Amino acid sequence: MSSYDLGVTRCGNMEFRWGERTYIMGVLNLTPDSFSGDGLGGDVEAALAKARRLVEEGTDILDVGGESTRPDSSPIAVDEELRRVMPVVERLAAELGVPLSIDTYKSEVARRAVEAGVRMINDVWGLRRDPKLAQVAAEAGVPIVIVANQRETTYRQIMPEVMDSLRRGMKLALDAGVAWENIIVDPGIGFGKTLEGNLELMRRLGELRALGRPILLGTSRKSMIGLVLNLPLDQRAEGSAATVALGIANGADMVRVHDVLPMVRVSRMTDAIVRGRIR
């Protein structure tokens, strides 16, 4: 895989030893309008039950989100996002053995979540919407995911502009005091990219290694798969599996998935081939 050492990122009681294997980020949507059709709304008990199942299936970290990232979704207020996520975050932090990530671009939501026990921040706007998120991560000593988001922009060359976006986010994080080993990058598949742009990013994913940080890849159930295969959300498992396997082969260190159990198996098989890891 990598010709250099990405080091170790500590996340609560978990150590991500990059390069040894692919880590699984399971998705827990608390939105009523999730793009993937699996939003749990305000049902705390249903969220807890699903979280426990995802952990049993092999999730290494749970990504909890309270606002939809669909292109046509409307932003929600901080208070509404807190109302959706905090009851679940507090219960999960107390009852589960895996670390939690908060999927938010709002620093106040991140701050409250970290105070409740969350151990990673996943910012789909790459610090463009609220740079204070970096300060929250720095003060708490938790990792932050910088996502390249091309929404509200017009790009000409997808890979150079994704790289530039990630470098800007990384600089903001470092300037705020985030430790180098606590930065993770994500090319942002589906965030303002065309189908052709998404496919090119997948082919050229390994170029992100030049940034020197681990790569998180989130392709699960996304429109890229639906457009290529002409399939609805509930029939994109095989397409998602193909992107996970090829993503790992091209440099992904962590994959963000909805269907944990099958993607754990895909990742383990791919790791055996790519990393020579048999377990």
The CA-based dihedral angle spanning residues 135, 59, 199, 165, taken in that order and rounded to the nearest 10 degrees: 10
Is 84 annotated as catalytic? Answer: no
Beta partners for 23? Answer: 254
Backbone angles phi, psi at 53, to 5 degrees: -65, -40
Catalytic residue among 112, 256, 268, 275: 256
- Length reported for the chain: 279
3-state class (DSSP) for residue 94: helix
Strands (E), the chain: 8-11, 14-17, 23-29, 61-65, 100-103, 120-123, 144-147, 183-186, 216-217, 254-257
Catalytic residue among 106, 128, 222, 236: 222
Closest of 7, 5, 24 to residue 271, by C-alpha: 24
Is 203 annotated as catalytic? Answer: no
- Alpha carbon distances (Å) from 235 to 26, 36, 108, 158, 279: 18, 11, 36, 28, 30
Report the catalytic residues.
Answer: 222, 256
